[in-house]
Amino acid sequence: MLQETIARVRAEIEAADLATAEQLDQFRIAYTGRKGQLADLFDQLKTVEPTDRRAVGQELNQLKQLAQARFEERQQQLEAGAANAPADPTFDYTLPPVPQALGTRHPLSLVREEIVRILARIGFNVAEGPEIEDDWHNFTALNFPENHPARDMQDTFFVKSGGADSAEAKAPASYLLRTHTSPVQVRVMQAQQPPIRSIMPGRVYRNEAISARAHMMFHQVEALFIDENVSFADLKQTVYYFVQELFGDDVQVRFRPSFFPFTEPSAEIDITCLICKGAGCNICKGTGWVEIGGAGMVDPAVLEQSGIDPERYSGYAWGMGIERITMLKYQIKDLRLFTENDTRFLRQFESLL
């Protein structure tokens, strides 16, 4: 009697239509649930003759496993189908993808980071200072005396507080946008005693008309080394190392005598033209050399004003424009390209990352 019921229920379970989630739920309630037919059949097991009970029990267990297997298989199929179903049934999967535009690093950032890496390898750390600087750090401490004609060498943006008609605005300005990164050298010397081995990368400002060759805002990096017995030979070796690391082993360096208020002696640094390899072209105006920066031994008066004993210590300083280096390294001919944010220009540096 019970065996006949089991056979009928088995046939029902095997034939059940489980197309939808509703049908699957009804199946669970009707067969495998706590009040379903299987639970009922297990209850009836006690009415079976003891001799048959074991065999019928096994048959019931197999039926229960069959029902659970059908239920779980279909449940997984339905869940997977729901996960893959499009949120918007009208979405066209054949459309080409929209490319994800990744930003690139700016060529000036790439070159600045390269310069920092090269000099960090020989022990230079990075120092920073304010872009709004006071007159003393930008000029006086660096040997530009009041009314000295050297101050006219740099056209300066002065910064005043207060409204246009206020008393502060009419008084002479004591703050300015730094015209070079050298005031950071002064700040480093004021803050620590030698040995000092620092580089100062940063943005500087000059009151200039913007053209292919000049800008009112650009970047410099300077290196300062102060210790006992530092000589011009140390300066030359550091510059040779730096140029060869940045531009390659076959690039030559030469020093030309020059003048800066804060170094004595002073020199300009030239390297062999990267375009013509020294043969002469229109970039180097036929000379085979291009200037990359200035250098010199720190003037003893600058050391003294910054709180360092010039009788005991000496040091060198050298610096260059990051735009200038970048233009030489990548043969960029117009300074304005750096600030125009034209992605056709900027994207060319992707492959250099």
Contacts to Zn ion by CB under 5 A: 273, 275-276, 281, 283-284
Compute the half-sphere exposure of residue 23: CA atoms within 13 Å on the CB side of its CA.
10
Residue 203 belongs to what H/E stretch? Answer: strand 196-205
User: Please, what is the minimum distance in Å from the beta carbon of residue 281 to Zn ion?
Assistant: 3
Structure tokens at 41: 């059949």
Structure tokens at 170: 């009419």
One-letter amino acid of 336: R
Rounded-to-integer distance, Cα 73 and Cα 76, Å: 5
* Closer residue to Zn ion, CB minimum distance, 6 or 284: 284
* Closer residue to Zn ion, CB minimum distance, 238 or 272: 272
User: Please, what is the minimum distance in Å from the beta carbon of residue 329 to Zn ion?
Assistant: 14
Compute the half-sphere exposure of residue 21: CA atoms within 13 Å on the CB side of its CA.
6
Rounded-to-integer distance, Cα 332 and Cα 342, Å: 14
Counting every residue written for the chain, the total comes to: 353
* Closer residue to Zn ion, CB minimum distance, 45 or 279: 279
* Closer residue to Zn ion, CB minimum distance, 41 or 273: 273
User: Please, what is the minimum distance in Å from the beta carbon of residue 280 to Zn ion?
Assistant: 6
User: Please, what is the minimum distance in Å from the beta carbon of residue 155 to Zn ion?
Assistant: 30
User: Please, what is the minimum distance in Å from the beta carbon of residue 252 to Zn ion?
Assistant: 13
* Closer residue to Zn ion, CB minimum distance, 118 or 276: 276
Nearest to residue 221, comparing CAs of 244, 195, 239, 207? 239
Cβ proximity of 162 and 90 under 8 Å: no
Helices (H) and strands (E) in the chain, counts: 13, 10
**3-state SS class at 118:** helix
Q: Please, what is the end-to-end C-alpha distance for the chain in angstroms?
A: 81
* Closer residue to Zn ion, CB minimum distance, 61 or 287: 287
User: Please, what is the minimum distance in Å from the beta carbon of residue 352 to Zn ion?
Assistant: 23
User: Please, what is the minimum distance in Å from the beta carbon of residue 251 to Zn ion?
Assistant: 12
* Closer residue to Zn ion, CB minimum distance, 284 or 335: 284
Compute the half-sphere exposure of residue 37: CA atoms within 13 Å on the CB side of its CA.
19
Structure tokens at 308: 């360092």
